[in-house]
Amino acid sequence: MEVVESAKTDKQAESDETDELNVKEEWTGRYMYIPPSINKRFDDEFDRLVYECGRDLEWKPKKNKHYYPVVAIHGINAVAEMDPDEFRNVVVDLELPIESG
Q: Which of 49, 73, 43 is nearest to 61 (CA)?
A: 49
At residue 12, the pLDDT reads 45
* pLDDT tens series, the chain, 101 aa: 444 444 444 444 444 445 689 999 999 999 999 999 999 999 999 999 999 999 999 999 999 999 999 999 999 999 999 999 999 999 999 999 998 87
Residue 79 lies in a domain: yes
At residue 27, the pLDDT reads 94
Domain span holding position 69: 36-96
Q: Are 61 and 71 in contact (CB under 8 A)?
A: no
The pTM of the full predicted model, rounded to 2 decimals, is 0.74
Residue 23 lies in a domain: no
- 61 HSE (CA, 13 A, CB side): 20
At residue 18, the pLDDT reads 54
Q: Which of 38, 32, 36, 31 is nearest to 90 (CA)?
A: 38
Distance CA 69, CA 55 (A): 22
At residue 100, the pLDDT reads 80
At residue 13, the pLDDT reads 42
- With a CB cutoff of 8 Å and minimum separation 6, the contacts of 60 are 50, 53, 54
Residue 88 lies in a domain: yes
Residue 60 lies in a domain: yes
For 95, the 3-state DSSP assignment is coil
